[in-house]
Structure 1
Amino acid sequence: MGRFLADNFPPNSPAEDWVAAWSEINSRPGTDAPNHGMALWSGPQVVGAYPAIYSTRVINGRTERFCNLAVWCVAPGFRSGSIRMLNALLAQDGYHFTDLSPTPAVQQLNLRLGFRYLDPRSQLTVNLPWPTPPRRVQVSSDPDEIARVLTGEPLRYYQDHVRCRWARHAVIVTDDTACYVQWRFERRKNLRWFAAIQYASDPGLFRAGLRQLSRHLAFRHRALFTVVDDHVAGGAITPSVAISGPPRRMFKSATLGPDDIDYLYSEITAAP
């Protein structure tokens, strides 16, 4: 599948990058991934790929299994077989499904299959050298510091994603609380100056410490802007401007609601 995606899916990432994206996240300790997704074959040749990322999470005190539907790519001339890969993934019992970067056409298909949308609102803020009170809120990207201050599930999330080469990590820390933040650089209008926030373990602390995080991203990582979905931040951030036409995120579950879904263990944290 890695070679097929390298040859057919933008932005023309090397095959080894695609292989690493799935193996690094699906092969982490404790993972019970049944596969790396589905492939469509024509004789000995792969003509379609639908990679998947699996995770087991504790939601509201219950152990839940997730399957993230990642990039869906089929060679011209074989598109009639596309749905077979999707049906095979959705036929797996006991999983909640996420599709976090569906195209408009896939969104319409997903709606017919019972998927629902997450909150589509997204905000952008300029990373400025905000004056901050000393020692009230601290931000760090140091791996040793992150591992020291995190506990419980946020620590496990960090450890599970630390080998994902496109994911970046930080913590916002107060005297007795730490918020794990996962982000990655995102290109907009061919400019690689945007820090896209993918996860915040404590949305309230994330919003309270946004100025310190913004300052950190500007000075330490040369990110001029921060982009975050309201779904990740737990509400609107200030100061900010709304982004028009943000990506639509979707999920399918018989028992979980939108507040139970996040972007971890997905193609937007693991893929090129």
Structure 2
Amino acid sequence: MSRFLAQNFPPNSSAEDWVTGWAEINSRPEAEAPNHGMALWSGQDLVGVYAAIYSTRIIDGRREHFCNLAVWCVCAEFRASSVRMLRALLAQDGYHFTDLSPNPDVQRLNLRLGFRYLEPSWHLTLNLPWPTWPRRMTVSSEPEDVARALTGEPLRFYEDHRRCPWARHAVIETDTEACYVQWRFERRKRLRWFAAIQYVSDPVLFRAGWRHLSRHLGLRHQAVATLVDAHVAGGAVTPSMPLSGEPHRMFRSMTLRPDDIDYLYSEITAAP
């Protein structure tokens, strides 16, 4: 599967890149992954894959099982049969499903299959050297600082993603609280100057410490600007400019609300 994606799915990433990302996350015992997705064969030839990333999360005290529909790639002459892979994934009982980067054609198909939109609300902010008060709040992206500051589920999320080459990590700290932040570089107009926030463990602390983090991303990581999704951050950060035309994200669940869905354990954080 990794070799097929390396050969057929842009960008030009190696098979090792795919294994290091989503396959390694699926291999965790706590993921309880029944597979790595579905494959389409023509005789002995692999002609399509629908890669999936599995996770088990605690939501309102309950163990909830997720299947993220990560990457769908089928050779052109076999695309008439590609929906069979999607239906096979959705036929798995006991899972909530997410599809976080569907193209318009897939969105229309998903809607017919019971998916709903998360409707992310992206905002762009420049990473300026804001003045900060020393010792009241700190930001670090050093691995030892992130691991030391976190406990419980945020620490598990960090440990699960820390070997993914595309995931970046930071922690916002006060004397009594810590917020884990996961982000990655994103290209806009071929420029790799943008940081995109993918997860925050404490939205209130994240928004309170936003200028500290923005300063850190600019000075430490040379990110000119940051993209913040209000769905992830629990609201818009200040100052920022709202963006339009951003990718839709979708999920299918009989019991969970949009607020229960985040972007961890997905192609957003774990794939090239």
What's the Cα RMSD here? Answer: 0.9
Percent identity, aligned pairs only, is 75
Q: Aligned partners of 1:224 and 1:198: how far apart in 2?
A: 17
Per the alignment, residue 116 of structure 2 pairs with 116
Q: SS of 2:54's equivalent? A: strand
Q: What corresponds to 2:157 in structure 1?
A: 157
The equivalent of 2:69 in structure 1 is 69
TM-score (norm 2): 0.98
Q: Is the 8 A contact 1:50 1:71 kept in 2?
A: yes
Q: CA deviation at 1:238?
A: 1.0
1:141 aligns with 2:141: yes
Equivalent AA in structure 2 for residue 72 of structure 1: W
Residues 185-211 of structure 1, C-alpha deviations (whole Å, 9 max, x = no match): 111100001000000001111111110
Q: Residues of 1 paired with 2:178 and 2:108: CA distance?
A: 39
> Does the 8 Å contact 2:22/2:266 carry over to 1?
no
Question: Partner of 1:37 in structure 2?
Answer: 37
Q: Is the 8 A contact 1:119 1:230 kept in 2?
A: no
Shift, 1:15, TM fit: 2.0
Q: Which residue in 1 is equivalent to 2:258?
A: 258
Partners of 1:209 and 1:199 in 2: CA distance = 15
Q: Whole-Å Cα distance in 2 between the matches of residues 138 and 121 of structure 1?
A: 27
Equivalent pair of 2:6/2:12 in contact (CA under 8 Å): yes
Q: Please state how far the C-alpha of 1:19 moved relative to its aligned partner.
A: 2.5
Query: 5 Å matches for 1:16-95?
Result: 16-95=16-95
Q: Greater shift after overlay, 162-171 or 15-24?
A: 15-24
Q: Is the 8 A contact 1:200 1:232 kept in 2?
A: yes
Return the offset for 1:29: 4.4
1:5 aligned onto 2:5:
yes
The letter for the 2-side match of 1:93 is D
Structure 2: how far apart are the matches of 1:212 and 1:93?
44
Letter in 1 for 2:54: Y
8 A contact 2:124–2:226 mirrored in 1: yes
Calculate the TM-score normalised by the size of structure 1: 0.98
Q: Which structure 2 residues correspond to residues 106-255 of structure 1 after superposition, within 5 A?
A: 106-255=106-255
| Structure 2, unpaired ranges of 5+ | none
Secondary structure of 2:31's counterpart equals coil
Could you give the per-residue CA deviations for residues 76-114 of structure 1, whole angstroms, max 9, x where no partner exists?
Answer: 110111111001100111000000000011001111111
Q: Is the 8 A contact 2:122 2:227 kept in 1?
A: yes
Q: Distance in 2 between matches of 1:4 and 1:141?
A: 34
Q: List gaps (5 residues or longer) in structure 1.
A: none
Q: Is the 8 A contact 2:30 2:55 kept in 1?
A: no
> Counterparts of 1:12 and 1:113 in 2: how far apart (Å)?
31
The answer for the alignment partner of 2:99 in structure 1 is 99
What is the aligned residue count?
Answer: 272
Tell me which amino acid in the other structure corresponds to 1:69. L
* Partner deviation per Cα, 1:102-161 (whole Å, 9 max, x = no partner): 001100111111111113310010000000111111001111111111111111111111
Deviation at 1:21, TM superposition (A): 1.9
Contact 1:118 1:250 in 2 (8 A): yes
Indicate conservation of the 8 Å contact 2:71/2:267, yes or no: yes
* 1:216 partner amino acid: H
* Aligned amino acid, residue 182 of structure 1: Q
Task: Determine if contact 1:3/1:15 at 8 Å carries over to the other structure.
Answer: yes
* Alpha-carbon separation, structure 2, partners of 1:203 and 1:246: 21
Which letter does structure 2 place at the counterpart of 1:270?
Answer: A
Shift in alpha-carbon separation, 1:110–1:121, aligned structure 2, 3 A: same
Other structure's SS at 1:33 match: coil
* Distance across 1 between alignment mates of 2:264 and 2:64: 14
